[in-house]
Amino acid sequence: MSPLSVNRDRLFASLEALGAIGAYVDDRTGLRGVNRLALGAGDAAGRRHVVEQMRAAGLTITVDRIGNVYGRREGTRPELAPVMLGSHIDSVETAGRFDGCLGVMGGLEVVRTLNDHGVRTLRPVVVAFFTDEEGSRFGTDMLGSAVATGRIPLEAAYALRDREGRAVRDELRAIGFLGEADERVAPPHAYLECHIEQGPVLRAAGVRVGVVEGVQAIGWHALTIVGKSAHAGTTPMGLRADPGVAAARINLRLREMLASGRYGDMRATMGVISARPGLVNVVPNEVRCTVDLRNPDDDAMRRAEADAIAFYAAVAAEERVQISWERTARTDTVPFAPAVRERVVAAARARGMSWQAIVSGAGHDAQEMARITTAGMIFVPGEHDGISHNPRELSTRDQCGDGVDVLLDVALSFADERGADEEGGR
């Protein structure tokens, strides 16, 4: 393990500086949150800030055709596949300062630490941030990394539109991040991502580092339910075709599925429910809603998704409405490489840090990179029961520092590793 340690004050200051971009104050709580929706003004400003910090650390910048940004520190053998450290800086509309940003600024802090100590690595080290990991604006999560690894074709990504009809390609051009580099990333030697847990498990257990075993399966559906608008006071209940009732029944059905025990450790959420025309005294003629299904068991996930889809058809017939739906995201469980998990454990032990194995409930860019290379993640706990996607999101200076110290150790172990891509092998 490396005798080096990162500068925790500098790391936390860098997170605070990025968190000031796209910041807002929540009217109800007075807390400061972050709103950097992908490819909007806040994201553009955040991107320019991070690129400036990368350049200041001596990194060479490349922007690809989906707007992914790569900052490269050369190794003594520049022809070898690099070690990549990364995550995202886009956010949901009600974010905190740490989701994704810890992986990017933590990766940059690793580079700064190597620079401080004059460390040359055999392999190049690349710090990356990927476009629209959240999926909050264009409806498809891990967009940039999914394009980079070939799961989503570039033209399909370009064609995605937000609620105002703005297309991804046009928005990339508008903010100055429609790059020219090939969107398909060459497989790195390893990909590592340090991230806040976004949940309560590590904090409740009192451990300092999470060794991430993998990511659970995720499925997103976008539903459009069309009924018949009518006067709320004059239309008898038995003569209505109310899409609001259909949406409510689907939402309750999800809860019943969870309670049944037939689908394992499933989570289900209807996060968007939007009625039109949205008037208090009018039966809506249309409801748009979403279904988010997650499960650490692929077979249980497939059963749950099939049963939910069958219920859409049944409730449409019973409520006399039309339901159309599309799958906006679908990934199976993704196990992370044992080589990464083992090195995270070794690094934590060497530094005297307690650790725990954990499965990620959220999706991450690392799951896309696992398609093409040895990939894994390090989790750090969060305060306030690990709340995330919320202004109360907080991982402390030392919690962040613990994770990035481990990231440094694991990155160096891979960056100085010989392999099949080096002449003569090991």
Instruction: Give residue 171's pLDDT.
Output: 98
**Where do runs of H (alpha helix) occur along 57-185?**
101-116, 143-148, 154-159, 168-175
Instruction: Give residue 377's pLDDT.
Output: 98
| Token representation of residue 63 | 């922007």
C-alpha of 48 from chain center: 20
Domain residue spans of the chain: 8-216+333-415, 218-331
Q: Please, which contacts does 399-402 make with residues 24 or more away whose CB atoms are closer than 8 Å?
A: 399/208, 400/8, 400/11, 400/12, 400/15, 400/98, 400/102, 400/106, 401/5, 401/6, 401/8, 401/11, 401/12, 402/208, 402/209, 402/351, 402/353
DSSP label of 74: -
Indicate the range of 191-200, 238-247, 395-404, 417-426 predicted with least confidence. Answer: 417-426
CA terminus-to-terminus distance, the chain? 19
Query: Global pTM?
Result: 0.89
Q: Is the pLDDT of residue 426 over 70?
A: no
Instruction: Give residue 424's pLDDT.
Output: 44
**Cβ atoms within 10 Å, residue 346:** 15
Instruction: Give residue 119's pLDDT.
Output: 97
Strand 190-196 relative to strand 83-87: parallel, antiparallel, unpaired?
Answer: parallel
Residue that the structure tokens 């499933």 belong to: 266
Instruction: Give residue 423's pLDDT.
Output: 57
Which H or E run contains 41? helix 41-56
Whole-number average pLDDT of the chain: 96
Q: Is the pLDDT of residue 236 over 90?
A: yes
Q: Is the pLDDT of residue 108 over 50?
A: yes
The Cα–Cα gap between 102 and 126 comes to 15
Q: Is the pLDDT of residue 267 over 80?
A: yes
Q: Is the pLDDT of residue 125 over 50?
A: yes
Instruction: Give residue 242's pLDDT.
Output: 98
pLDDT tier, 422 (very low <50, low <70, confident <90, very high otherwise): confident
CATH number (3.30.70.1380, 1.10.3720.10, 3.40.190.80, 3.30.70.360) of 218-331 reads 3.30.70.360
Average pLDDT over residues 123-142: 96
Strand 83-87 relative to strand 125-129: parallel, antiparallel, unpaired?
Answer: parallel
- For residue 2, the one-letter residue type is S
Q: Is the pLDDT of residue 2 over 90?
A: no
The Cα–Cα gap between 188 and 177 comes to 22
Average pLDDT over residues 287-313: 97
Q: Is the pLDDT of residue 99 over 90?
A: yes
pLDDT tens string 327-340? 988 989 999 999 99
Which H or E run contains 127? strand 125-129
CATH number (3.40.50.1220, 1.20.1630.10, 3.40.50.1100, 3.40.630.10) of 8-216+333-415 reads 3.40.630.10
pLDDT tens string 24-76? 998 888 889 999 999 999 999 999 999 999 999 999 999 999 999 999 999 99
Q: To the nearest whole percent, how much of the chain has pLDDT over 70?
A: 99
